[in-house]
Every structure is written in C-alpha cells, then in structure tokens.
Amino acid sequence: MLQGDKEQLKLGEHLVTIAACHDCHTPKKMTDKGMEMDFSKALSGHPATLPPPDVNREEVEKKGLVVTQTLTAWVGPWGISYAANLTSDETGIGNWTEKHFFTAIRQGKHKGLETSRMLLPPMPWDMYKNMTDEELRAVFAYLKSTKPIKNVVPAPQPPVAAAERK
C-alpha cells in the first residue's frame, strides 16, 4: 500500500468517526456499563434479524419519533427507516463505485442511483454533501477497506396512513 493510500484511509476513518457514522450504522448492545457500540458489527447497519419496532406506528408517525434499542431503526412521519450496511460486503457498499457514493451523499439518492428514492431521515446527507471531493473520496476508500459483514438491511416501510391507502 502506498503512503498516500494510508493517509487517505486514515483521513477517511477520522471523518467517519467525527461525522458520527457509527452512531446510526453500528448496532448497539447493552453492557454492564450501559449501551455501547457493538464493533463486531461495525457499520453493518440495522441487523436483518431484528423485527420492526413494536410500537403504535400511527400514533408515533403523528406525534414524533421512535428509535430502536440498537439505534439503527427509526419510526417517524416518513414511516420506518433502517440504517444501511456501509461495510465492504456486497450487501453493503461492496459493489458501489465512487460515483455511486458521491451520488448518494451529494444528491441524497438511495444506493447512489440517480433514479432511486431519496435517502430517508435521519440520514443527514444534506449536511455531508458539503464535504470536499477529497474528504468524500477518503470516506469511501475507508468504507471500502472495512471488514465485510453480510447483513441485508430491511427495506424501509411507508407511513401507516400511506400503506392503508393502497
């Protein structure tokens, strides 16, 4: 690995840390010290095996917001959103190109595809889009260097009111 590559990966890791990517994309676990990040599942998103949040969605969607115990799924007026798998696995961003990553962050497009839906709350892509090209390249390079974790994150669910209209 070239020195420039090491520096880029180090910058990417730093940016992922200070941009709080782990807050949403790394599941949490309860320990004797309280809730902690489960780094054995670092950046793997909402665990596929967890059921949807068990709440009165209609009430929550009207009045506010609920987050799961892993802090990887949210219920709000938009429905249910799940934190994506950002690891280098094919179920994460393993098959993404740099262009996909830039499209996701700069345009807020799911999977970095220009024709796809918008990213859902609470993903703050509209803040992250202000990163420089160098910073985004570093973040992408770092994410592509992570341990691949197979985890197919559930698809988002529309709001209850929208689902009832169908």
Please report the pLDDT score of residue 162 as a whole number.
62
Q: SS3 for 38? A: coil
Is there a contact between 76 and 60 (Cβ–Cβ < 8 Å)?
Answer: yes
Residue-level pLDDT at 61:
87
Q: What are the residues facing 30 on neighbouring strands?
A: 35
Phi, psi dihedral angles at 120 (to 5 degrees): -100, 160
The neighbouring-strand residues paired with 131 are none
Name the helix (H) or strand (E) containing 163: helix 160-165
Which residues are 29's β-sheet partners? 36
- The confidence score (pLDDT) of residue 116 equals 97
Q: What share of the chain is helix, strand, coil (3-state, %, to 5)?
A: 40, 15, 50
First to last CA, the chain: 53
Q: Which residue in 139, 71, 82, 77 sits closest to 105, CA to CA?
A: 139
Which tens digits make up the pLDDT trace of 2-24? 555 999 999 999 999 999 999 99
Quote the CA–CA distance of 146 and 21 in Å, as a whole number.
13
User: What stretches in the chain show pLDDT beneath 70?
Assistant: 1-4, 162-166
Amino acid 53: pLDDT: 86
